[in-house]
Amino acid sequence: MNAHLEKYFGQAKKWKEEFHLLREIVCEDKMLVEDYKWMHPCYTFEGKNIVLIHGFKEYCALLFHKGALMKDTKGILIQQSKNVQSARQIRFSNIGQIIKLKSVIKDYIKEAIEIEKSGRIVEMKKVSDYPVPAEFQKTLDEDETLKKAFYSLTPGRQKGYLIYFNQAKQSKTRMARIEKYYQQILEIKGIDD
């Protein structure tokens, strides 16, 4: 077993039982390979991410990387936030919920593998689908260096800034955010770099 996985499962505190049961259920599907990505157990099919186990303060979850394409016949898949386009979670707050949904979880894993086999992809929003806040547009129009730097960023990094700037409800807050990240944009860095 991967040393990172050993540590992850061995040092789990709050969700230890739940993590072990989820792992057992996922590993029953012999088409999946257990890996460690993004600091979490991740299960792949032919090198493609299928499902990930992770925990939060209030719940633990199975995250299906292409969950947006799944049928979700039981209505249990959750979109983490409005900005998450592809992944969906099944959340659990106790081991009993996992036990109760064991056969459903297996069915969802099979469906996720079939989606990957089919080659289907989630149609992602383009940068142009995200509104540019008026304050940021004005700043870009007035500062050619910033404009050039912003449009040199990868589409994902551009989206990150637009989402973050748009989350602010007040113009004053949007301006403060733009000012805070001004230099970082000039350095062609993303919001989390």
Q: What is the pLDDT of residues 8-42, one digit of tens each?
A: 999 888 999 999 999 999 999 999 999 999 999 99
Residues 79-92: tens digit of each pLDDT: 988 888 899 999 99
DSSP letter (8 states) at residue 39: T
pLDDT tens, position by position, 127-161: 888 999 999 999 999 999 999 999 999 998 999 99
- 50-70 pLDDT tens trace: 999 999 999 999 999 999 999
Q: Give the global pTM.
A: 0.76
Q: How confident is the model at residue 116 (pLDDT cuts 50, 70, 90)?
A: very high
Residue 20 tokens read as 């072990």
Distance, C-alpha 188 to centroid of its chain = 23
Count Cβ atoms below 10 Å from residue 99 Cβ, excluding itself: 12
Structural domains in the chain, CATH included, are 3-118 (3.90.1150.200), 127-186 (no CATH)
pLDDT at residue 21 in the model: 97
